[in-house]
Amino acid sequence: MRVKTIGIFDSGIGGLSVLAKAREMMPDVDFIYYADTEHVPYGTKSREEIVNYSVEAAKFLIKKGAEAILVACNTATSMAVDTLRAVFDCPVVGMEPAVKPAVSHHPHERILVCATPATIGGEKLHELLRRNAEGAEVDLCALPELVVFAENGIFDSEIVSAYIRSRAAREDYSACVLGCTHFPYFKDSFRLVFPYAEMIDGTEGTVRRLCHVTGYERESSLDRGTVKYYNTGAAVSDTQTLAFYEELQRRVR
154: alpha, beta or left, given left = phi > 0 and alpha = psi -120 to 50?
A: beta
Whether 180 is a known active-site residue: answer: yes
Catalytic residue (one of 114, 176, 180, 211): 180
Q: Looking at 73, 114, 176, 211, which residue is catalytic? A: 73
Q: How many CA atoms lie within 13 A of 201 on its CB side?
A: 26
CA distance 135 to 151: 36
Give CA–CA dist 17/33, Å, rounded: 11
For residues 121 and 148, is the Cβ–Cβ distance under 8 A?
no
> How many other CB atoms sit within 10 Å of the CB of residue 82?
14
Question: Cα(88)–Cα(67) distance, rounded to whole angstroms?
Answer: 10
Q: What is the DSSP string of 41-101?
A: -STTS-HHHHHHHHHHHHHHHHHTT-SEEEE--HHHHHHHHHHHHHH-SS-EEE----HHH
Q: Catalytic: 114?
A: no
Residues classed as catalytic? 73, 180
